Amino acid sequence: MKLTIHGTGYVGLVTGACIADTGNQVLCVDIDKDKIAALERGEIPIYEPGLESIVMRNIAAGRLLFTTDVAKGVAFGDIQVIAVGTPPDEDGSADLQYVLEVARSVGKLMASYKLVVTKSTVPVGTADKVREALHSELQARQSVLSFDVASNPEFLKEGAAVEDFRKPDRIIMGVDSERAEKLLRELYEPFNRNHERLVVMDVRSAELTKYAANAMLATKISFMNELANLAEALDADIEKVRVGIGSDPRIGYEFIYPGCGFGGSCFPKDVRALVHTASQVGVQAELIEAVQGVNDRQKHVLFRKLSAHFGDLSGKNVALWGLAFKPNTDDMREAPSRVFMEACWAAGVNVQAYDPVATDEARRIYGERDDLQLCETPEAALKGADALVVVTEWREFRSPDFAFIKDTLNQPVVIDGRNIYDPEHMAARGFAYYAVGRGQ
């Protein structure tokens, strides 16, 4: 099959590479000339385990192509996938200008039937707007060409996106024609061989499914963070509570880890967008609003613990382990580390940060600052620091040399935003140890 993907960001590039890897012809379109030139050289603009080798292999095989020529992209594929960004507006709504721009381009340039698929995370009703844009452009050309619009939301976890695409839990297809369903079934056949993963529904339900999934996962995280704050006040251990409730199969262990809040490009944006969507149709989404509020508050918990321990923080040095919002990615969008660092700087604290892959991203965001040192190793971040703060649960942080940490820090203070260390062991080693929700 021949497929055009508009947008070479996280979703577009992973989708294009994985579909090309099954033998299909894929052309990725982006208006960013520098990004396209880099991709043609095999340079990957994002960190995602396993992605680079797939991209390189399929470029070499001639199955994965890149262009800035939109007309070439529209002519190339019978299936036109929209995977451009939908950044949030100030009111929390998703900005659809790039989605609709692609739709208008397809309508202006198409010379045969096209199936236009929205893969970007978009509000319910977006497919209707895409259909209207296509119809309007065709009408202006006095063309009677046919098209279909479908919703095929992505469910990719950053850090595990390649595996998620290759072995999906489900493949959601929102369609309103047999032709569209047949094309998408053919496209996803290589990923559907083990057992039936296709879930076919109407377009609006598919659009809502994406938001509902992310909002549900975000709700579990915020609920556990709320419980963690309660456990701390009651001198209980939220980690023991987590194991106790997670053993109930109706609850399970996934997404019930307390910590310093969620970030990234999906959960915060999608929760806000869902709240906005609800308000637009006169529904008060109280629970979803609370999820957002709890998370915003939780991102300040580490700074509060630091301030409570030291009092006056002016002139202190803090070692920060972890900048990315989660392990196995360099994404710092809405990361708890950013809230923590910015609070530290406002209080006159110098930050010495280490992350295995996100230091370049931190440098891009913050530039050169006198109060931020980006270190090459976790050990380097400790030198001269008054406390260690762990924000991201990278594997290499799980079992460090605690004797070295204690000897290197000015004071043996560890604030653990992901509860990866054992409080009793840390106390036995002589640390002042603060976790999230693990008693007083």
> 413-416 and 387-390 as β-strands: parallel, antiparallel, unpaired?
parallel
Segments of 281-423 assigned E as strands: 317-321, 350-354, 372-374, 387-390, 413-416
User: Is 266 annotated as catalytic?
Assistant: yes
For the chain, what percentages of helix, strand and coil (3-state, to nearest 5) are there? 45, 15, 40
Within 8 A by CB and 6+ apart from 149, the residues are 115, 116, 117, 118, 127, 130, 131, 134, 176, 180, 203
Within 8 A by CB and 6+ apart from 398, the residues are 420
Q: What is the DSSP string of 10-58?
A: HHHHHHHHHHHTTT-EEEEE-S-HHHHHHHHTT--SS--TTHHHHHHHH
Residue among 28, 266, 344, 375 flagged as catalytic: 266
Tell me the two tokens of residue 229: 């704050």
For tokens 């396209």, the residue is: 36
> 25-29 and 2-6 as β-strands: parallel, antiparallel, unpaired?
parallel
Tell me the two tokens of residue 20: 């090309």
Which residues are known catalytic residues?
266
